[in-house]
Amino acid sequence: MTDQPKFEPIRGTHGADDPGPRNLPLDLQNPDILLPPETDNGSLPNLKFSFAMAHNRLEDGGWAREVTVRELPVAKSMAGVNMRLGPGVVRELHWHKEAEWAYILQGTARLTVVDPDGNLSIDDLKSGDVWLVPAGIPHSIQGMEEGTEFLLVFDDGNFSENETLLITEYMAHTPPSVLARNFGVTSDHFAGIPKSEKYIFRLPVPKPLEAVRAELPDSPIPQPYVFHASGIEAVRYSGGTVKTIDARDFPVTTLSALIIEIEPGGMREMHWHPDADEWQYYIEGEARMTVFDATSKARTFNYRAGDVGFVPRTLGHYIENVGTTPVRVINVFNSRLCSDISLNRWMALTPPDLIRGHLGLDDTVMNALRRSREAVVR
C-alpha cells in the first residue's frame, strides 16, 4: 500500500507535528480545520456536517438520512433530508408540520398533492426540478422507472423525517367504529389496515402520467406546488453560473434557492444575506468557505459531495473552488426571495474617498471595483 502524504498542523514556527493517533484521510479532506488560515480567529460554531455521517434509515426499496439540529446545532432554522426511492417505491401518503422544499438530484419522481380546496396536482419531476409543499398539505412521492434520489429542506431545524404525520398511523390509531362512521361503511372493512407505518415501501411503477390524471378530476392547484427548474437557463458569470429559484418565478414557495456551479479557479464572491440563513448542500467538487462574524471572528471549512454547510444570516462568506473539477452546490434560504449584499459592489457604490479613508487602498484596487453584479468571479 502506498503511504499517504504527510500533512502536519505547522505554519512557520507555529504548531507542531501530529504523531497520532489520527484519522489522516479525514485530515486531508479538512485541511483548513487542522491547519487554519492565519486570518481565522476567535470562536464560531461548527458550520459543517456530512450526510455520510448521518444515520441511514434503510427501508423496503429505499433509504433516508437527515441532518437536523441534532447533527448541526447552529442550523436552527432549516433541516435537510437525503432520500432514495427505487423504481415504483413510495414515500407513503403523509403531511408535515413544516414546509417541504425539494430538489431532484437523480432520476424521476412522481409527486401527488391535494390542497385544502380539493384541487389535485400529479406531476413527474426530473433532475433539477423542485417542489414546495406547504405545512399541513398531504402528499406522496414515488420513484419512476429508474428510481429517484432527492434533497428535502424543511423550514425548521428541529424537523425530523421520523416524526411526520402518516396516513397508515392515523388510520391505525383511530378506533374502527370512528373509521366506520367517517367513511360510511361497517368497521369490519378496516380489519386489514396496517398496524404500523409503511413509510417507504414497494409498489409497481405507476401508469403514465396522463393515464393517471384521466382517472381523477381535472382540478389543478391554482398556484402549482412544482416548478420545472431544469428547463430554465442559469446566468453565466466569469467564474461559473447561478440559477435562481424563488417566488418571482415560483409564487407558492416560502423557501428560495441558488443552484451554483463554480468552475476551477472560480469563487462565489464575498457577500452576505441580509434577511435569510443559508443551508448548503454540496453535489460535487471540492470547496472552501470562510465565514466572518463580528468582533473579529472567522472560521474556514472544507466541503465536498454530500456535505452540508450553514451560514447564519448577515454573516460574510464566500465559496471557493479549490479542486480541479467544477463545484456544484445548492444554497437554500428561509425567505421567499434570494437577496445578497456584494462586498465588491457595496464598495464600488460608496464614495471613493470614504473607501480610501477606511482601507488605504491604491488606485489599482479602486479601479477594479465593480458596480455590476458578478456573483461568481475568477
pTM over 0.75: yes
- The neighbouring-strand residues paired with 114 are 120
> Cα separations (Å) of 184 from 172, 195, 209, 378?
17, 21, 31, 67
pLDDT digits (tens, 9 = 90+) for 196-247: 999 999 999 999 999 999 999 999 999 999 999 999 999 999 999 999 999 9
Instruction: Return mean pLDDT, the chain.
Output: 97
Phi, then psi, of 236 in degrees rounded to 5: -95, 135
> Which pLDDT value is given to residue 1?
42
Q: Show which residues are catalytic.
A: 91, 94, 96, 100, 139, 161
Percent pLDDT > 90 in the chain is: 98
Distance CA 229, CA 364 (A): 40
Q: Tell me whether residue 74 is exposed, middle or buried, using C-beta atoms within 10 angstroms of its C-beta: 0 to 12, 13 to 18, 19 or more.
A: middle
Contact by Cβ (8 Å): 369, 344: yes
**Number of neighbouring beta carbons within 10 Å of residue 362:** 9
Burial state string for 128-149 with b = 16 or more CB within 10 A and e = fewer than 16: bbbbbbbeebbbbbbbbeebbb
> Cα separations (Å) of 362 from 24, 352, 355?
43, 11, 10
Please check the confidence at residue 142 and state whether its pLDDT lies above 90: yes
Percent pLDDT > 70 in the chain is: 99
pLDDT digits (tens, 9 = 90+) for 20-49: 999 999 999 999 999 999 999 999 999 999
Please check the confidence at residue 7 and state whether its pLDDT lies above 60: yes
pLDDT digits (tens, 9 = 90+) for 309-334: 999 999 999 999 999 999 999 999 99
> Cα separations (Å) of 172 from 95, 176, 189?
16, 9, 13
Contact by Cβ (8 Å): 164, 98: no
pLDDT digits (tens, 9 = 90+) for 169-205: 999 999 999 999 999 999 999 999 999 999 999 999 9
> Which pLDDT value is given to residue 357?
98
